[in-house]
Amino acid sequence: MAFDGKITDTQKAISEFGIQDIGEIVDSLKGDLLHPYLERGLMFGHTDATKIFDAIKKKISFAVMTGIKPTGQYHIGSLITCNEVLYFQSLGGKVYFCVADMESYLHSGTSLEEGHNTAIDNVADILALGLDYKNSYIYKQSEQKDVLKLAVLFTKNITYNMIKAIYGEQAFGAYQSALIQAGDILLPQLKQYEGPCLTVTPVGLEQAPHARLTRDLARKQLFREHYGFKMPSFTFHQILGSLDGGDKMSKSAGHSFMLTLSETSKSLKKKIALVFTGGRETKQEQLELGGRPDICRVFDLYRFFFMNREDELKKRQKECKTGKILCGECKQDLFSRACKFIEKHQTKKESKFDLAKQILEE
């Protein structure tokens, strides 16, 4: 979703945006309740999400809000959020999935027609990844009148100075887009949907300003009185860096720096060969000093997607640090795992296109 600014300093974001450490919640979870992202510190922070985990334990209903901008093929950065959404869904959350076609238009100039076709492809991806559409509400922003209505109502309580302080000097559409996104997050709380209800929105750290804006709007007396909004909760995950070692993997960074779920084995091989590693200058040096998994994008891909077992990940980290494995072999292993995952995904996705089309055109 929309924010274009970059936040790379976790500590600064935590203090500036009031993000809480998720450690205490993690300590209270066991078994299936503990997602590997929580265990690995990839989902590292939250705003007011203790009540969501309490609701899960007490089997109280809640909604999970998420979305995608239909501007291109589903990429692996979006898979992080999808994994979190599936996790919350498996624990009883009803998913609200927004196709952010208005945001795509306002930010990237993608026409609504073009966005629609891309959205079918993107929705086929999330269905193939395991979204239970029967316990979800999937919609396009441009056709969701209640979201657009909320976005207009919110303008009553936002001054130019307030919004400029958050997003800087922008075209008006970018501000509008932020308010539409706040409408998406609060939609499940309207009484004709689930509301007022508990909601959680898993996001990357760069979305912290949006989270704050939405909570500020939800607490405005006018909206509280009118809609009885409960304060929305958020969880925050680390951002996956671009394959070349840059700060963030995003569609705007260009296709060569990110993996999509539509890679062929040939393109995958080419991209993995170019991934930035924490390897040393020479083989000898690496054998003696070991690699640096902490700065390695290959290791990041393992941490986020391709090594679910904790003992296996720890073993690889140790092998890397002690020079027992070299980057060539490590990349070959990554290629095999990613290839298997993507091939399987593409087969499943093929069978989901009709359903995706039906959902979006109903």
Min dist CB 299 to ligand SF4, Å, is: 4
Cβ proximity to ligand SF4: between 232 and 293 the closer is 293
Q: How far apart are CA 354 and CA 352, in angstroms?
A: 6
Q: Considering beta carbons, is residue 41 or 92 the nearer one to ligand SF4?
A: 41
Note whether 293 binds ligand SF4 by CB under 6 A.
yes
Output the smallest distance, CB 270 to ligand SF4, in A. Answer: 16
**Closer by beta carbon to ligand SF4, 173 or else 245:** 245
Distances (CA, A) of 302 to 97, 235, 313, 360: 27, 21, 7, 33
**Of 120, 121, 199, 213, nearest to 166 (Cα)?**
213
CB of residue 261 to ligand SF4, shortest distance in Å: 22
298 in contact with ligand SF4 (CB under 6 A)? yes
Least distance (Å) between residue 317 CB and ligand SF4 = 7
What three-state secondary structure class fits 356?
A: helix
- For residue 2, the cross-strand partners are none
Of 318, 315, 245, 321, the C-alpha closest to 277 is 245
Per CB under 6 A, the list member of 239, 320, 342, 356 interacting with ligand SF4 is 320
Residue 360 interacting with ligand SF4 (CB under 6 A): no
With beta carbons less than 8 A apart as the criterion, state whether 62 and 55 touch: yes
Strands across the sheet containing 233-237: 20-21, 43-47, 233-237, 199-204, 63-68, 94-99, 136-140
Q: Which of 331, 335, 334, 323 is nearest to 282 (CA)?
A: 323
Start-end of H helices in 219-309: 221-227, 265-274, 283-289, 297-301
Q: Is 272 in the site for ligand SF4 (CB under 6 A)?
A: no
- Map residues 329-348 to x or -, x wherever contact with ligand SF4 holds by CB under 6 A: -xx-----------------
- Does 277 bind ligand SF4 (CB under 6 A)? Our answer is yes
Residue 325 C-beta: closest distance to ligand SF4, Å? 5
Which spans of this chain sit near ligand SF4 (rule: CB under 6 A)? 277-279, 291-293, 296, 298-299, 320, 325, 327, 330-331
